Amino acid sequence: MIKKRNGEIVAVNEKQNRILERLYNTLTGRIILKFLTAPPVSEIVGFYMDSPFSIPLIKPFVRNNNIDMSEYKEKFFISYNDFFTRKIKTESRPIDYINTHLISPCDSKLTAYKIRQNSIFKIKNSLYRISDMLKNEFLSRRYEGGYCLIYRLEVSDYHRYCYIDDGIKTGNTYIKGEFHTVNPIALKKYNVYKRNSREYTIMHTDNFGDVVQIEVGAMMVGKIHNHHGEYNFAKGEEKGMFMFGGSTVIQLFEKNRIRPDSDILRNTRDGFETIVHYGEKIGEAL
């Protein structure tokens, strides 16, 4: 279930959910899924989406997902991926530059969880530990007592993401995996946050401590594009983007560093994801 910041409940994509139910909950569907989630298949799909042959997919996608193209910079798209990674107008996603305000790095559906010793997080019936995502037990222990923020992007969301503060980052650590959709229906059968291809970095931020950010690929997403290795970054500066598909950004915060906004914590507790936008306030520094 999904809510807007004003408390309004939003209808979910029932057509997409029905397709995913068949894929994940039937024998035939799981055979098809095994084929679809193989990295070579993802690469082939990615090649097609980068080609001019994919252009006819754009208009139906915009229409079916009610995307307001007036929010985006005008250009002639040379492929579906060119459209998918379209840039939004600056005025459409204003950045909250108040130093102590924590901002969302992307357009997404957000949940926020407290990290406790040996926490196992249950997200739409999927169980996982922080150490499973990072494959680094020592680093994982640093974040006990802090917060785990999970930003789930759907295919209709803006798929670029920004830095949440000024600071300096480490290089990117890539973890190879399988590609599965991050739709909640998939989480009933597969622990996608453990299985999916992902990439993470440690961001030494000015106002929120050392933040781990993890980008997770989803089904049909073979590419996570982070623009920088070791780098001095600025709040609101673009960090990277996902190619075609739904994807996820996860952030880990140390103990006593942030306080997520009360509506986000309340919605998470009540089983709702909260719609947030690139650059908007979602919490504050302690």
Under 8 Å between Cβ of 255 and 269: no
Q: How many helices (H) and strands (E) in the chain?
A: 9, 19
Contacts of residue 259, Cβ cutoff 8 Å, sequence gap at least 6:
283, 284, 286
Annotated active-site residue in 104, 119, 247, 261: 247
How far is the C-alpha of 82 from the C-alpha of 111, rounded, in Å?
Answer: 29
107 is known as an active-site residue: yes
42, 104, 107, 197: the active-site residue:
107
Whether the CA torsion 8, 159, 58, 89 is positive or negative: it is positive
82 is catalytic: no
User: Is there a contact between 237 and 162 (Cβ–Cβ < 8 Å)?
Assistant: yes
The answer to whether 260 and 282 have CB atoms below 8 angstroms apart is yes
State the catalytic residues: 107, 247
